[in-house]
């Protein structure tokens, strides 16, 4: 993993995950050095990224959620060429491999919904070659601890985090950071 990215994650126990313009405005005031951009389309994403970058933050675009982009590797090329994003988030290993080829940070988002998903985790991580994995939902400290023990990559936990106690339990379980769209969590 890129040293600067790892340091930013270690310095940001809470990652601001933004899903609309009001979240964008508020995240610029938060201490988090890393911002997950979970909204936008091909007409707006460059401007959203520019605002995040203008505040001196690392911008990662959840490429699967950007309107108008196909689920093909060329979408990663688009993000690289037309925005100043530092990296992408995706559930698709091919997209993350392409991000690595383009020297963008790569976050593999995994939904652990049952034991089969947990068993397939290692295979997905190897296929994606991501810098970091993000596990959702976050509110499973026992499972998160197990994933942190298995993973050779740093783990971010996200989804349904709404209280300080959640953040503390997840950090204790071994995650490097916690992502949340809950703006109150950004200012702990």
Inter-axis angle of helices 93-101 and 115-128, to 10 degrees? 30
Tens of pLDDT, residue by residue, the chain (188 residues):
578 888 999 998 999 999 999 999 999 999 999 999 999 999 999 999 999 999 999 999 999 999 999 889 999 999 999 999 999 999 999 999 999 999 999 999 999 888 888 888 888 888 888 999 999 998 888 899 999 998 889 999 999 999 999 999 999 999 999 999 999 999 98
| Domain residue spans of the chain | 3-182
Q: Return the CATH fold of 3-182.
A: TIM Barrel (3.20.20)
Residue 185: its pLDDT value, please? 93
Residue 1: its pLDDT value, please? 55
Number of neighbouring beta carbons within 10 Å of residue 118:
17
DSSP string, the chain: --HHHHHHHHH-SEEEEE-SHHHHHHHTTSS-SEEEE---BTTTHHHHHHHHHHTT-EEEEEGGGSBT--SSTHHHHHHHHHS---EEEES-HHHHHHHHHTT-EEEEEEE--SHHHHHHHHHHHHHHT-SEEEEES---HHHHHHHHHH-SS-EEEESS--SHHHHHHHHHHT-SEEEES-HHHHT-
Q: What is the pLDDT of residues 167-183, one digit of tens each?
A: 999 999 999 999 999 99
Q: Phi-psi bin for 107: left (phi > 0), alpha (psi -120 to 50), beta? A: beta
Q: What is the pLDDT of residues 144-170, one digit of tens each?
A: 999 999 888 999 999 999 999 999 999
Residue 3: its pLDDT value, please? 84
């Amino acid at each position: 993993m890129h040293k600067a990215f790892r340091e930013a994650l270690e310095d940001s126990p809470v990652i601001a995950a933004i899903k609309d313009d009001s979240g964008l405005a508020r995240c610029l005031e938060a201490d988090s050095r890393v911002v997950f951009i979970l909204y936008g389309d091909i007409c707006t994403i460059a401007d959203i990224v520019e605002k995040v970058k203008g505040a001196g933050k690392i911008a990662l675009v959840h490429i699967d959620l950007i309107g108008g982009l196909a689920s093909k590797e060329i979408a990663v090329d688009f993000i690289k060429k037309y925005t100043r994003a530092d990296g992408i988030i995706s559930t698709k290993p091919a997209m993350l491999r392409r991000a690595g080829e383009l020297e963008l940070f790569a976050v593999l988002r995994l939904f652990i919904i049952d034991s089969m998903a947990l068993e397939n985790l290692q295979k997905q991580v190897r296929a994606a070659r991501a810098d970091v994995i993000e596990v959702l939902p976050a509110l499973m400290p026992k499972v998160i601890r197990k994933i942190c023990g298995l993973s050779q990559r740093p783990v971010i936990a996200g989804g349904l985090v709404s209280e300080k106690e959640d953040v503390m339990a997840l950090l204790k379980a071994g995650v490097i950071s916690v992502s949340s769209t809950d703006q109150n969590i950004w200012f702990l």
